[in-house]
Amino acid sequence: MSDATANRVGTPARAADSADSADFAGLAARAARLDAEDGLGKLRERFALPEDLVYLDGNSLGALPAAVPGAVDDVIRRQWGELLIRSWDESGWWTAPERIGDLLAPLVGAAAGQVTVGDSTSVNLFKALVGAARLAAPGRTRMLVDAATFPTDGYIAASAARMTGLEVVPVEPGEVLGALGDDTAVVLLNHVDYRSGRLHDLPALTAAVHAAGALVVWDLCHSAGALPVGLDAHGVDLAVGCTYKYLNGGPGAPAYLYVAARHQDAFDSPLPGWNSHAEPFAMTPEYVPARGAARARVGTPDILSMLALEAALGVWEGVRIEEVRAKSLALTDFFLECVAAYVPAGKVEAVTPREHGERGSQVSLRCANAREVMAELIARGVVGDFRAPDVLRFGFTPLYVGFADAERAARTLGHIFG
C-alpha cells in the first residue's frame, strides 16, 4: 500500500456543492440503466438484505443467503432434534467436508476430490505450509512469505517454519522472482491484498515458483467468489481460503484446503486426527491417512456452520464466475468514476490499482480521519470498513451489489467531504 500504488482521485473533480447537478443526475441515470441491463441483478433476490442499505463489506462478511435460515432450522430441529446421531449417515453429516468441497471447487477452478471444507483458514494454512515443506526437495532452507500478508498468515508461517526448520523470508509479491533460488522450499502468497485490493498474478508467480523447484501456497480469502482463480489450470500446489466473505457462508463459517491431486498421496498433515484416518472407527493407535482430500481433515466436522455454508453455496446455481468478474470490474470502474465526480479534489486517494489485471473486487481509498469518515458513511446507510491507519475499504460483491449502490456510496462520500 505504498504511495507509488496510490492514484489521486478527484482530479479534476469538483466539490459536490459546486458541480453541475446535471452531471450528477447523469451518473444516477446511468446507474439505473446499467442495473436494468445487468444479467446478475436478479440474484440480489437470493439474499436477505435491507432494502435501503448499501452493503459494501462483503470482503469482510458476506450477506445472508435467503435459503440459509430454513436450512439451518431443518438441521437443528429435524436432523439433530429428531434423527439425532442417525444424521451422521442418514443426513450425510459424515461426508459433508468433501461434498461441500466439491460444491466449492468450481469457484476456485478445481476438479472434484481436491478440496476439503473444515477448520479455520489459520488451521488450514498451518496444514498447507507444513505439508508443503515436507513435500519440498531435501536441502531447501527458505520459506518466502508475502511481506504484506494478513498478520495471522505471518504468525502461522513463522510457526510452520520453526516446525520444519525453514527460515522465513518476507518478500513483496512483485519481488518474488528476484528472491527465488535453489534454496527456496515454499512460497506463501495472497491472491488479493486485503488492504489495497491489489490482485497478484497467480499464473505467472506459480510458474516462476515451480521453475525454481519450489512449491506455492496461495491464500484465496479475498478472491474466491469474486474472480476466476484457476487452481488446476495453473498447477497450484496448495491453497486455502475462508468462506464467509464473497462465498457468503456466514460468520465463522468453515474454511477450506485445496491439495492438488498429484500431491495427495504424499501430503503429510501436521495435524493428523481421527477424522482423517483411513479407518476412523477402527480406533487403532497407529495413524494411517485416508486417501484423497479426506486426509486433510482433523477432528469432528462443525456441522451447524458446515451445513449453513452448503445452503449458502446454492446462490451460485447457474452463475458463471467469469460473469461475476466482468460485473466486478464494471462496478469498481463506475464507483471510481463517481468518486472522482462527487468527492472534492484531493480529499481521497485510490490505493487500489486502476488496471483490471491488478484489481480484485474491492476499492480502497486513503483519506484523513478515515475511521470517522467510515463511521459517518455507516450512519448514512453505506456500509464499508476501515483499516488502520487511513484506509476506507469498499468490497463489491456482484451477486447482490448494483450500480445504484456504487453511485449512492460515492455520492454519500462526497456529501461527507463537501
Contact (Cβ atoms closer than 8 angstroms) between residue 159 and residue 151 = no
Contact (Cβ atoms closer than 8 angstroms) between residue 338 and residue 365 = no
Buried b / exposed e along 61-94 (16+ C-beta atoms within 10 A) = bbbbbbbbeebbeebeeebbeeeeeebbeebebb
Contact (Cβ atoms closer than 8 angstroms) between residue 407 and residue 334 = yes
Residues 6+ apart with CB under 8 A from 69: 48
According to DSSP, the residues that pair with 117 across neighbouring strands are 256
Indicate which residue of 47, 150, 246, 258 is catalytic. Answer: 150
Pairing of strands 215-219, 238-241: parallel
Query: What is the rounded CA–CA span in Å between residue 146 and residue 218?
Result: 10
Indicate which residue of 142, 195, 245, 366 is catalytic. Answer: 245
Element (H, E) at 349: strand 348-350
Query: What is the rounded CA–CA span in Å between residue 229 and residue 179?
Result: 24
Pairing of strands 238-241, 115-117: unpaired
Query: What is the rounded CA–CA span in Å between residue 188 and residue 206?
Result: 10
Tell me whether residue 265 is one of the annotated catalytic residues.
Answer: no
Query: What is the rounded CA–CA span in Å between residue 193 and residue 196?
Result: 6
Tell me whether residue 219 is one of the annotated catalytic residues.
Answer: yes
Query: What is the rounded CA–CA span in Å between residue 225 and residue 228?
Result: 8
Contact (Cβ atoms closer than 8 angstroms) between residue 335 and residue 401 = no
Write down the residue that cell numbers 498433515 correspond to. 269
Tell me whether residue 393 is one of the annotated catalytic residues.
Answer: yes
Dihedral, 110, 115, 120, 126 alpha carbons, nearest 10: -90
Pairing of strands 115-117, 256-259: antiparallel
CA 217 vs CA 53, 140, 158, 245, 294: distances in Å: 37, 16, 14, 20, 19
Tell me whether residue 42 is one of the annotated catalytic residues.
Answer: no
Indicate which residue of 126, 244, 256, 403 is catalytic. Answer: 244
Query: What is the rounded CA–CA span in Å between residue 407 and residue 331?
Result: 9
Indicate which residue of 146, 153, 193, 219 is catalytic. Answer: 219
SS3 call for 184? strand
Tell me whether residue 245 is one of the annotated catalytic residues.
Answer: yes
Active site residues: 150, 219, 244-245, 393
